[in-house]
Structure formats: C-alpha cells, structure tokens
Amino acid sequence: MRALWQLTWTEAKLYLREPSTAFMTLIFPVFLVLIFGSVYGNDPADVDFEYGDYGFLDTFAPGLIAFVIATSSFLTLSTSLATYREQGTLRRFFVTPLRPPVIFVAEFAVYVGVTATGASLLVVIGAVGFGLAAPAAPVSLAVAFLVSTLSIMSLGVLLGSVAPTARAAEAAGMAIFFPLIFLSGAMVPRELMPDWMEQATHVLPLTHVVTLLQDLWIGDGWNLISLGVLAGFTVVAVAISVRVFRWE
C-alpha cells in the first residue's frame, strides 16, 4: 500500500514537473477555451447544426476533454513508458519487490488524476467565462471519462511497447496524435467535414471518445456503439501489448 501511494505521488510530481506535458495537459486546453470561447461564444443561435439549446462551446468542451485525454494518456504515456524501458528504470524496479500490478494501478491513478484536473480546469474556465452548460448526465459522464481514459491509455501502452526507443515513441506519437485530434472531432466539429471524411473518422478511437462524452454532455445518453468500439480497441491493444511488451 505504501509503495502504491509513494509511486503514485512521485509519478504525479514527475508528470507535472515536465514543462511540456504539464503545459499540454493543463494550460493549453484552457487557452483553447479562451480562444474559441472568445471567437465563437456559446450562443445556441450561432450553431448551424442541430444541438437544440446547446451552444458552440457546449459541443466543443467534450472534444477538448478528449484532447486532454489523448495528450496525457496517449502522447505522454507512450513516450514515458518507452523512456522508462530505455533508461532501465523498469529494469531497476524489477529487481525490487515492487509488483507490476502496483505499477499499473499507480500509473492509471496518475494519468486519470492529471487528465481529470486538465478537464476540470477547462470546464471551470468555460463555465465562468462563457457560460458553458453543465453536463446533462454528470455521473455517466464521469464513468465515460474513466472508460475513455483507460481505453486511450491502452493505446499509449501499445505504442510505448512496440516503439524500439523513446525517440521513436515520441515521433510516432506525434505523427498519430495530430491527425487524430483534428479528424476525431476533438478540435474541428465533425459536422463541418464533408460526408466521406466524416464517415472515415469512425475508424479512429478518439472519434468515439468525443461522441461518447458529447452525447452524455448534451443529454443524448450513452452511445453504445462508441462504447463498444472503445472496448474493442482496448481489448486488442491490451492483448498485443501483453505479447510484445518487454521491460528492457
């Protein structure tokens, strides 16, 4: 128990001490809310697509939360895992009585914690600054957030496991991350895309994170297809990771 707490606390501090990851997870999403909130506002009359009484920011905030999840649980996690393997930190852990499940639970707690912090910051700024509506189903939204974070983490672990070096993980992570956030609806509403492009984005896991969170935010309930797709991605990513993961 003491090991779990100490590892979680240390890893959380290390995450926040790294300026680039702390910025991307905590500060940058707030900037985006400030910029998009100022440009588009949150007046339902200004929205071209049918979201009832919800404004632009109400539909955009869940996408930004998906952006925070992708930043921490995919981009940062994959590089961090590959770095720990490359530098021998995992190797060093494995000659102590520390058990792998403890490492897993600690990392999950850290990534959920920083992601939730980043998401909360952007929601609070959005609500105070631009009248962002409260989520229609807050408890379901919290569950969907956990499921989404776990699912994207499994993809981060997969990349961190297959990448031969930390640099390779970072390069591949960037190459996947940027198209992902622009095509999944996290940054650009998919309603604005041409039909063929909108259809094609269904293959991306982050699209389903955006859909899941957005539907629960605006009261459309659970999107079971998106939930199922995320579960499928998670099962496949975990299965491959378990086979290819090397601790050195």
Partner 1 sequence: MSDADSTGGVIEVGRLRKVYGETVAVDDVSFDVRQGEIFGIVGPNGAGKTTAIECVMGLRRPDSGSVSVLGMDPWFDANQVKRRIGVQLQQAALPNRIKVGEALDLFASFYDDPADTSALLQQWGLEGRKDAAFANLSGGQKQRLFIALALVNHPELVFFDELTTGLDPQARRATWELVRDIRASGTTVVLVTHFMEEAEHLCDRVAIIDHGRIVALDSPAGLVEAMESEKRIRFTLPEPADLGWLANVEGVHRVAHENGSIAVHGSGPLLVRVATALGEHGLEPVDLSMERTTLEDVFLATTGRELRA
Q: Which residues bind partner 1 (CB under 8 A)?
A: 2-3, 5-7, 10, 13-14, 17-18, 83-84, 87-89, 91-92, 94-99
Long-range CB contacts (within 8 A, 24+) of 200-206: 204/180, 205/151, 205/152, 205/155, 205/229, 205/230, 205/233, 206/66, 206/69, 206/70, 206/152, 206/180, 206/181
Question: What is the smallest separation between the CB atom of 102 and partner 1, expressed in angstroms?
Answer: 9
Q: Which is nearer to partner 1, 92 or 167 (CB)?
A: 92
Between 97 and 194, name the residue whose CB sits nearer to partner 1: 97
In the bound state with partner 1, the residue whose beta carbon lies nearer, of 5 and 182, is 5
Minimum gap (Å) between residue 36 Cβ and partner 1:
32
3-class state of residue 232 by DSSP: helix
Give least dist CB 45 to partner 1, A. Answer: 48
Query: What's the min distance (Å) between Cβ of 214 and partner 1?
Result: 36
- Measured from the CB atom, is 40 or 93 closer to partner 1? 93
In angstroms, how far is the first alpha carbon of the chain from the final one?
Answer: 26
